[in-house]
A and B are shown apart, each in its own frame.
Chain A
């Protein structure tokens, strides 16, 4: 799996890592039981501090998505892929909510908004 990190983003890097891993789990790219890259390995690949990677891995473990076996590595747990998808869906819903509110405040009509949405979806 290949990760892309945006150093200029306001989103902390560990969060970016988490998001990409979650996406991979949800899409099945990272199947249950598969091993995540070693902390040092990923840090070397992304050219960042190992502590940042560790933070991401620790948070993922807190959320129940991964489990770290000491001496072996970090593995994707047998969580329901649906659970992750549900998480993503909720996050998307939240963001969409914000966007819709902002657009409507800005004066767009519901139809204009729908058209805009369709246009974007086609891209």
Chain B
């Protein structure tokens, strides 16, 4: 559905160099620290930025060749860009209805009311939670097949975050062949939503794995210093010195469960994974 192949883009202080793919029926997450390149990758995927090298292909076409009809099949939400905040929902409804044949003004307004979004207030007077919900609603409202959501939950409290994630989950139960590409720096959000995750750091993809595997086969071993020397390290991906010895990341939890049953083990969590991939020793 969407494919970035060897996309290379050079900025003054930053180089993006990545490949990723989104398949239909999947929710794919892109996680990384602020400034790691998530937004840039999305902008390349949408044709807002032209890469120096490599290509971005959407719906089988190079992204520069997307027609207006193609774009009607895409839904986008940016954390820092959207409709002018001087507009109200009532202002925006006819704009959307004019752009997407599947959007009916009345239904859109009803949907917004149901989500408790004020129809006649200017967007700049919305709370952060309301703004986020509106952006996602706008992206979801026209039955898009491809959804690109750049940090839709940023700045939200845990309740609002869950509401936004629920909107996405619900959309996928109805549109099973849609594809969602979502970015965040909040690992727990993506853990409970995504089917597979790309980890990006300094413009490069450093890991791509199914969430299922990450949570079931990855583990954090807490190895006391004495044990570390003799530890079988063939499945250790990263190690980090800790006060008790070493924290070791492995992608073969079963192996260590069987061979080192006394070792303290924690389930893989994306947060730990990021910390280890960002700071641990190989």
Residues of A within 8 A of B (CB): 7-8, 10, 12-14, 38, 40-41, 43-44, 47-52, 55
Contact = CB atoms under 8 A, between A and B. Distances in A.
B173 A38 contact: yes
Contacts of A12: 216
A47 B168 CA distance: 11
Contacts of B26: 50
Contact of A14 (B25, B173, B196, B212): B212
A40 B173 contact: yes
Nearest to B216: A12
Contact of A48 (B25, B170, B173, B192): B192
Contacts of B211: 48-49, 51-52
Interface residues of B, number: 23
Nearest to A49: B211
A19 to B, nearest CB: 14
A50 B58 CA distance: 23
Contacts of A55: 212
B267 A50 contact: no
A40 B212 contact: no
Contacts of B216: 12-14, 52
Interface string B258-269: 000000010100
A41 B212 contact: no
A81 to B, nearest CB: 29
A44 B212 contact: no
Contacts of B186: none
B48 to A, nearest CB: 29
Interface string B185-196: 000000011111
A47 B192 contact: yes
B162 to A, nearest CB: 9
- SS of A interface (majority): helix
Given A51-B212, A55-B212, A8 B195 contact: no
A13 B215 contact: yes
A44 B196 contact: no
A59 B249 CA distance: 28
A12 B212 CA distance: 9
Contact of A51 (B173, B192, B196, B265): B196
Contacts of B267: 7-8, 10
B156 to A, nearest CB: 16
Contacts of B212: 13-14, 48-49, 51-52, 55
Given A12-B216, A50-B27, A52-B212, A40 B195 contact: no
Interface string B217-258: 000000000000000000000000000000000000000010
A10 B254 CA distance: 10
A51 B210 CA distance: 8
A13 B257 CA distance: 17
B173 A10 contact: no
A38 B212 CA distance: 18
Given A14-B216, A49-B211, A51-B212, A40 B172 contact: yes
